[in-house]
């Protein structure tokens, strides 16, 4: 199946300036074929009736719980990789660079988004936010407990680290708290429900008659 993600679909090719034809055919952004008869606009992009039906079917198909599981598994994997990467970097360099929390948020957000089939929505936002929090918490464990300490303390720090660390190093730690927040909001925003604005049907003949409507 072709990529139905509208965020990534290229706009239809611009009309060839050298073309002498005054009626540039409108092309569907999904199948790239010239539109015949009537078409729709989804998020401002031209889609023919066939592809509109396919795109709409793909939005409602599949099992929501299975999607959530896949999103959770991919997100958890990203959180583990991100958290270990964050912690390893901090241990190796001795620097606690908060900007990595934003990268972790982006990575986890991307994994959840991918696992959700680009669906987005509140549940995925909470999932991505929680996993980012735990990844940042896990990554800050080495900072909080140094090289000694036991597993119980480490797990505890994983859950409270992002809040505990700023308190322990107040007030400079407030920057860390803000950056944790940025990382979480990054993951949150990436899993918002994508815009879905359908207009139409429009007639190709009407579009040809009014050049303003053509892209
Ligand atoms: Zn099409």
How many domains are there within the chain?
1
CA atoms of 97 and 81, how far apart (whole Å): 17
For residue 160, tell me if it sits in a domain: yes
Q: How many C-beta atoms surround the C-beta of residue 18 within 10 A?
A: 5
Domain that holds residue 171: 64-190
- The alpha carbon of 50 and the centre of ligand 1 are apart by a number of angstroms equal to 6
For the chain, how many residues are written? 215
The rounded Å distance from CA 152 to ligand 1 centre is 56
Burial class (CB in 10 A: 0-12, 13-18, 19+), 136: buried
Do the domain assignments include residue 22? no
Q: Does residue 18 sit within a domain?
A: no
- Ligand 1 centroid to Cα of residue 54, in Å, is 9
Q: What is the pLDDT of residues 161-211, one digit of tens each?
A: 888 888 887 887 788 888 889 999 999 999 999 888 999 899 888 776 655
Going from the Cα of 167 to the center of ligand 1, the distance in angstroms, rounded, reads 56
In-domain check, residue 23: no
Q: How far is the CA of 55 from the centre of ligand 1 (A)?
A: 10
In a domain, 89, yes or no: yes
On whether the CB atoms of residues 102 and 179 are closer than 8 A, the answer is yes
Query: Mind listing the pLDDT tens digit for each residue in 92-132?
Result: 887 767 788 899 999 999 999 999 988 899 999 999 999 99
């Amino acid at each position: 199946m072709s990529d139905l993600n509208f965020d990534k679909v290229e706009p239809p090719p611009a009309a060839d300036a050298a073309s002498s034809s005054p009626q540039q055919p409108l092309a569907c952004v999904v199948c790239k074929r010239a539109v015949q008869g009537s078409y729709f606009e989804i998020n401002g992009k031209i889609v023919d009736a066939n592809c509109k039906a396919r795109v709409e079917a793909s939005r409602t198909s599949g099992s929501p719980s299975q999607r959530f599981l896949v999103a959770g598994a991919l997100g958890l994997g990203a959180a583990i990789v991100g958290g270990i990467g964050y912690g390893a970097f901090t241990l190796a360099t001795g620097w606690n660079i908060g900007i990595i929390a934003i990268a972790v948020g982006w990575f986890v957000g991307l994994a959840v988004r991918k696992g959700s089939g680009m669906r987005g929505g509140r549940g995925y936002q909470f999932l991505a936010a929680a996993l980012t929090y735990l990844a940042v918490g896990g990554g800050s464990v080495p900072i909080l407990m140094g090289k000694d300490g036991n597993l119980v303390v480490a797990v505890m720090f994983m859950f409270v680290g992002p809040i505990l660390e700023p308190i322990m190093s107040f007030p400079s730690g407030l920057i860390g708290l803000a950056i944790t927040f940025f990382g979480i909001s990054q993951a949150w925003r990436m899993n918002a429900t994508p815009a879905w604005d359908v207009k139409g049907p429009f007639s190709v003949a009407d579009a040809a008659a009014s050049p303003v409507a053509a892209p």
